[in-house]
Amino acid sequence: MKFNVSQLKGKLAPLVGVAIVLAVLPVIGAPRTWILYLFVFFIYLIMSTMFNLLAGYSGLLSLCQPAFIGLAGYTLVIFTWSGLPFYLGIIAGGIVSALFALLISIPVFRMGGIYFAVGTLVVPEALKVVFLLWRPVGGELHGGGAGYMVKGVSGITTADTYMMALFVALASVLVLHYILNSKFGLGLSAIRDNANTAASSGINVFQLKLLSFVIAAFITGLAGGIFYVYQGYIEPTSAFNISWTMAILLATAIGGMGIEEGPIAGTVIYVMLHFMLAKYAGISLLIQGVILVIIMLTVPEGIMGFVRRKRIYSSIFQLITGRR
């Protein structure tokens, strides 16, 4: 795969710079709320970047993210309850999600476009029922509910999870960038434009889609694992809940699907929204839904799409740097 190093330097140097600044924040004693906000931001950034890979670039409107998140969480539980360290649990969570994606890809990819969306919708619902009934580790249900506490994470601070999340977030953005600038990405663009033509040009459509799907599942799973280390407990209804999908969809849609920087812009706004709406927990989903509808009807290409279209980007860039 081709790898354009100079291009990497140009666009991503500022990104790495920002990442370093962010990494230093907990060390220099930034306020706890900042750390928390940024942590949530990283988690959603990972998930929407991967969703963008799927829906924006691979033509896969995948509604089964909660499956990856929940499975990773439960893998974490199994590992920690078996006495294994949590970081192995996180990595295992990613692997389990990836394997699961691989498993369901066989039936699910046979479903064209719309059917795919419905097929992926069923998966988290089914898993929710499974985990309401199945206790993978531990004894009888106590205190009602089918939830678990995550063991062995009492010593872990928010700062620690913050660093993990930051690392994976940076990695996910880099992975997306790397993919898009490689032959893999070229193949994806071809598929996005016209799958049939792409196939007749010798592109193995199935393989590329599968690769995207599995990569997205793995990284989304990692985010899920880190999240549950932070939260400390997991429970089927919220783990496999459609509100994950809603949040990810909204963040990606606001930012702009199919645009590389989309998830970054979208997640920034989404997280602000999330914390503003936290007081109105009851109607939070309602407002998110309304915003999604409004965005899709007025600015379907998202903020970054709008910005690009209006060439605001290049004008500001020109203004700042004095060159085209």
| Site residues, other proteins (CB under 8 A) | 55, 61, 63, 106-108, 110-115, 117-119, 121-123, 125-126, 129-130, 132-133, 242, 245-246, 249, 253, 257, 282-286, 288-290, 292-293, 296-297, 300
Q: How far is the CB of 122 from other proteins (least distance, A)?
A: 5
Q: How far is the CB of 105 from other proteins (least distance, A)?
A: 11
Nearer to other proteins, 11 or 135 (CB): 135
What is the CB neighbour count within 10 angstroms for residue 12?
16
Whether the CB-CB separation of 285 and 276 falls below 8 Å is answered with: no
Nearer to other proteins, 64 or 217 (CB): 64
Distance CA(213)–CA(207), nearest Å, equals 10
Query: Three-class SS of residue 135?
Result: coil
Whether the CB-CB separation of 207 and 27 falls below 8 Å is answered with: no
End-to-end Cα spacing for the chain? 30
Nearer to other proteins, 13 or 283 (CB): 283
Distance CA(51)–CA(220), nearest Å, equals 9
Neighbouring-strand partners of residue 234: 148
Q: How far is the CB of 123 from other proteins (least distance, A)?
A: 8
Q: How far is the CB of 118 from other proteins (least distance, A)?
A: 5
Nearer to other proteins, 42 or 270 (CB): 270
Whole-number Cα distances in Å, 155 to 31, 85, 161, 229: 20, 12, 11, 11
Closest listed residue to residue 276, CA positions, set 292, 293, 288, 266? 288
Distance CA(217)–CA(64), nearest Å, equals 9
Phi, psi of 148 (to 5 degrees): -135, 150
Distance CA(256)–CA(276), nearest Å, equals 22
Q: How far is the CB of 256 from other proteins (least distance, A)?
A: 12
Nearer to other proteins, 181 or 288 (CB): 288
Q: How far is the CB of 265 from other proteins (least distance, A)?
A: 18
Q: How far is the CB of 250 from other proteins (least distance, A)?
A: 8
- Count CA atoms closer than 13 A to 143's CA, side-chain side: 4
Nearer to other proteins, 290 or 316 (CB): 290
Nearer to other proteins, 83 or 282 (CB): 282
